[in-house]
Structure 1
Amino acid sequence: MREVDVIIVGSGLSALIAAYSLCKHKKVMILTKGEKSDSNSVLAQGGVAVAMSEDDHWLHHLRDTIEAGSSHCNEFIAKKLVQLGPLFIKQLMDRGMSFDRHQSGELMLGQEGAHRKRRILHAGGDATGREFMHFLQQLIVQDVHIIEHQTVQDLIIDNGCCIGVVSRDQKGRVLPFYAQHVILATGGCGHLYSYTSNSAVATGDGLAMAYRAGAALIDLEFIQFHPTLLHSHHRSGGLVSEAVRGEGAILVNERNEAIMEGVHPLKDLAPRDVVARFIFERMQQGEQISLAIDDIQHFEKRFPTITSLCEKAHVDLKTKRIPVVPGAHFLMGGIKVNEHGETTIPRLYAVGEVACSGVHGANRLASNSLLECIVFGQLVAETILNKQEHVKIKPIRYRSERHATDSVYLPSKFAVRHQMMTHAGIIRTEDTLKQLIYQFEESLAHASTSLLGYTNEQLNLINMLTVGKLVAQSALERKESRGAHFRSDYPFQHNEQWGQKRIMKQLREKEQHQFNSVMGR
């Protein structure tokens, strides 16, 4: 019987942070769908947002987080994120993680959309995620067993508790793995959409398996569309970080008109939902939108990853224009968790993009995603280490079923992604959402209730259809526009204020005066 103390499904930043904090005390196994380097974390360019400069404070960071979240953040958890962030970042720096610095030795701080301060730490220019992942992989290499190319199919639930997972290798062999604790760190669902910044493994598998197990999922309608993906030959060629606009790039049309003038006080650095929706609307009118990088000195040195993407897409940077398109970037919703990463199923945890603690509200603040992985990856590990009770696990026999799955009709991935982009994308309506739900339900109706007989590819499609339907149902139920969720038939959110009074109530009395000062009151 394959049994360990902790199974972590996924190999991104939140998984590695949790694994590192656990592995000196527990036997930890990581199961990952692709190779260990396949994750959205590796692709993260901008950096990690943290209030560490002398003219910044976590209260500033909290305000920006909640404003971007459109009055939908869990303020208690958002406060925990911005307060603990500097502490955990300093701990990682003490262990050897390095960030880009000026010649004077001071940390280089970037600025991104909806941040009122320069607070974005970055490493390797625009390769922060890759640098973080390499650093952590080296820390855990001797202590954590990582098994690649394992498609986790479902959770094993016994007496209401999660005791393991059912996985399949590349040959389709079914393998049960057992553990005292299971952490889902499978990332988001960006590859449900035609245009996305996400890794190809981000197809919502963790959401689907949690749903089938009976865990609560929330806020799935809130999918952030990044305004600037590289757009070449009708395809998205990767992310063009918001840090590019933070360093002075502006969005222009073919006539070199700055399109964000007069749209929002922060112009090109407005919240992502505002910028993405406006670019989408201009493109619907037949315009091509580009980033003008004329004012950025030494672009190739500051943004080597983006430079490489442009070269691969045959985009000539000598023109000082990078064609862009909005695309699916980040899921604010997910598996419902508390501040400890605990789901509604005992001994099942979720962390990172697959989880929803309410920290991002309706729209994530730029570069808060890596910070979320670091803070809550650490907190979920601490929660597990503090649990003393041990569950006796009885193994369950699994075997691959043999039935004619070839005769089952499932749409292609291309069709699913096109339907999601068209009917549940940047702008939604009741009619388009109902149409999508009907189509996906029709496809799922032909699938067997048992998933053991399907190929890995078919299982992936079933997960995509399942999560796509749930996203559309959530978007249909929210009859308002809020943050990243925009309904053209309900264009206004009910509460235009961002929850200032509620934050005031949750801050301790001794912090009130400082908060009033930050807010300019």
Structure 2
Amino acid sequence: MMETEVIIVGSGVAALTTAYYLHEHKNVTIFTKTKKDESNSRLAQGGVAASVSPEDDWRCHFEDTIAAGCQHNDEKAVELLVREGPKRIREWMNAGLTFDVNQDGSLHLGQEGGHRKRRILHAGGDQTGRTIVSFLLEKLKGHVAIIEGECVIELIIQHGRCIGVKTKNPLGQTSCYYAGAVVLAAGGCAGMYAFSSNAATATGDGIALAYRAGAVIADVEFIQFHPTMLFAAGKAAGLISEAVRGEGAVLVTEDGRRIMEHIHPLQDLAPRDIVARAIYDEMSKGHHVYLDISAVHRCHERFPALAHLCAEHGIDMETGRLPIVPGAHFLMGGVFVNDCGQTSIQGLYAVGEVACTGVHGANRLASNSLLEGIVFGARAAEAVRKETAPPLQLRKRPNDMQSDIKKAVRNLPEITAIQTIMSTYVGIVRDEQGLQYAKKWFEQFPLSAFVDSSLEDLSIEEITVIHMLLAGWLITTSALQRTESRGGHYRSDYPFAREQWKKRRICRTKNELNVTSMAEH
């Protein structure tokens, strides 16, 4: 038996922020299924949105966030985000974090979609995520234990409380770690789609882990698709930051027609769901869509990561046009939490993209993701510091339905099959017929066995597929239930929003859904 005071699952900005504000008060152990510096946060080319300019105000940032979120946001959570964000940013700058500045030494503030003000702080041009992750890892060096290459496969629940995690390493060895509090910071699920901006590890693990443990899951039908992924050799090669459009790039078809000109007042800087659907519509008509960067001054210097990405995939930036395709980018919903990251299970917290704080509503405002990880990571740390766990009393969990789980894994699908189903039927545009088909496809597998059984005898690859199946089913059934279009959830058969649904969250719990009936399918 291995014990620590706090376990954090994940190594992105939300995880590292929580550890940063905890390590002086608690013994912290971080688990990451790959390397500590491999995360979606590190890939973040955009910046951090914060009202730090004298010409800006938190109220304006608040209004922009609510507008992008299609009025589905938790307003209290949004106010916490935009008011506490600038304080945390200044705090970190005083601790040594540097952002890009103008020639006069003032902060360089970028413009991105949905923002009425220039309020986006960048570091290293388009390498903000990498810079912040490196800053936090340096601050945590020697102060927290970081266990790499060990995948969390189960949350250990006893008497209604989360008391630890079960892990598996690449050699197939299983271990149990116990703690007074567990913080889920395992990221989102965009890796479940064929085209994705995320790291390949973002396969809905955190959602599935929490669901299997009995936590409430909310708003997972809201998936944001980033409009501009570099399209090369038939694949999404990498993200082109929205900041490029903020500096003057525009979306055009092969004949040079601007596709956003008559779609939205903000044109190419409209909210992401609107831009992604406009591109999807053009592509469904057989058109190719490009990002015209000819108006961007010194694009190579301003966006070094983009220049490297283009060179790596043989795309000549000098042509002024980059082929693009939308890709799954961010999950607005997740494990339902309060404003301190507490889930519906005592002792279990969730922060970052895996959590549903309510700040993003139905559609995340650009560059609010890193800000959310910073603000709510700090708030979760404060709550965990006050956590008092009862004495640990261990008992063996029965391996219910273990024979069923061993039979079930013989017919697991390939990951690419799940990605195809999600992209085709639960993607940018959805309808009842497609969602029903996807639901039946997921329910051909014994989902109840996946929920109720221990998975410790399975391989990491098999567990990953099982978690993807559970997360995919949750997203699909939630999308079926929301009979309206709002933000990242667009139903062609229900194209308009319903105002009476403004604050309604579609929640999922394993008991509420009676998953045992799924085994009949």
TM-score by length of 1: 0.93
Q: Deviations over 1:200-234 (max 9, x none)?
A: 11001010010011100000000000000011111
Amino acid at match of 1:492: F
Offset, 1:386: 2.3
1:508 corresponds to: none
Distance 2:447 2:50 in 1: 46
1:394 corresponds to: 393
CA 1:311–1:214 in 2, change beyond 3 Å: closer, same or farther?
same
Contact 2:194 2:419 in 1 (8 A): yes
Structure-to-structure mapping, 1:19-418, within 5 angstroms: 19-387=19-387, 389-396=388-395, 408-418=410-420
Within the alignment, does 1:452 sit opposite 2:448 as a pair?
A: no
Contact 2:408 2:446 in 1 (8 A): no
Amino acid at match of 2:283: M
Distance 1:248 1:423 in 2: 34
Amino acid at match of 1:471: I
What SS does the corresponding residue of 2:179 show, helix, strand or coil? strand
Contact 2:152 2:166 in 1 (8 A): yes
Amino acid at match of 1:390: A
What SS does the corresponding residue of 1:305 show, helix, strand or coil? helix
Q: Deviations over 1:377-435 (max 9, x none)?
A: 00000111123x33211345689989966961111011110110001000001111111
CA 1:235–1:114 in 2, change beyond 3 Å: closer, same or farther?
same
Distance 1:268 1:493 in 2: 23
Distance 1:398 1:34 in 2: 27
Amino acid at match of 1:88: R
Distance 2:293 2:262 in 1: 20
1:476 corresponds to: 480
Offset, 1:311: 1.1
Distance 1:133 1:409 in 2: 39
2:511 corresponds to: none
Contact 1:18 1:378 in 2 (8 A): yes
Offset, 1:444: 3.4
Following TM superposition, the consecutive aligned residue runs of length 4 or more in structure 1 with deviations greater than 4 angstroms are 396-407, 445-448, 496-499
Q: Which moved more, 1:87-96 or 1:406-415?
A: 406-415
Offset, 1:443: 2.4
Distance 1:46 1:496 in 2: 34
Distance 2:56 2:96 in 1: 24
Contact 2:181 2:389 in 1 (8 A): no
Within the alignment, does 1:495 sit opposite 2:494 as a pair?
A: no
1:466 corresponds to: 470
Q: Deviations over 1:149-200 (max 9, x none)?
A: 1111111111100000111111111100100000000000000100000001
Contact 2:9 2:31 in 1 (8 A): yes
What SS does the corresponding residue of 2:499 show, helix, strand or coil? coil
Offset, 1:125: 0.3
Distance 2:371 2:14 in 1: 9
Distance 2:280 2:252 in 1: 13
Distance 2:489 2:309 in 1: 29
CA 1:81–1:399 in 2, change beyond 3 Å: closer, same or farther?
same
Structure 2, unaligned stretches of length 5 or more? 504-521
What SS does the corresponding residue of 2:5 show, helix, strand or coil? strand
Offset, 1:498: 8.7
Q: Deviations over 1:326-375 (max 9, x none)?
A: 11000000000000000000010000000001100000000000000000
Amino acid at match of 1:412: E
Q: Deviations over 1:7-27 (max 9, x none)?
A: 000000000000011011100
1:504 corresponds to: none
1:422 corresponds to: 424
Contact 1:411 1:443 in 2 (8 A): no
Distance 1:398 1:167 in 2: 15
Q: How many residues align?
A: 498
TM-score by length of 2: 0.93
Contact 2:220 2:474 in 1 (8 A): yes
Contact 2:409 2:462 in 1 (8 A): no
Contact 1:32 1:151 in 2 (8 A): yes
What SS does the corresponding residue of 1:442 show, helix, strand or coil? coil
Distance 2:157 2:490 in 1: 37
Distance 1:411 1:453 in 2: 18
Contact 1:66 1:498 in 2 (8 A): no
CA 1:245–1:469 in 2, change beyond 3 Å: closer, same or farther?
same
Question: CA RMSD of the aligned region, Å?
Answer: 1.8
What SS does the corresponding residue of 1:443 show, helix, strand or coil? coil
Amino acid at match of 1:482: R
Structure 1, unaligned stretches of length 5 or more? 500-521
What SS does the corresponding residue of 1:324 show, helix, strand or coil? strand
Equivalent residue in structure 1 for 2:443, among 426, 438, 441: 441
2:506 corresponds to: none
Distance 1:284 1:227 in 2: 15
Contact 2:7 2:28 in 1 (8 A): yes
CA 1:211–1:497 in 2, change beyond 3 Å: closer, same or farther?
closer
Distance 2:136 2:128 in 1: 12
Amino acid at match of 1:456: I
CA 1:496–1:115 in 2, change beyond 3 Å: closer, same or farther?
farther
Distance 2:276 2:311 in 1: 24
Of all paired residues, the percent bearing the same amino acid is: 50
Q: Deviations over 1:217-263 (max 9, x none)?
A: 00000000000001111100010000000000000000011111111
Amino acid at match of 1:164: G
Contact 1:110 1:119 in 2 (8 A): yes
What SS does the corresponding residue of 2:16 show, helix, strand or coil? helix
Offset, 1:441: 1.3
Offset, 1:496: 10
Distance 1:306 1:485 in 2: 29
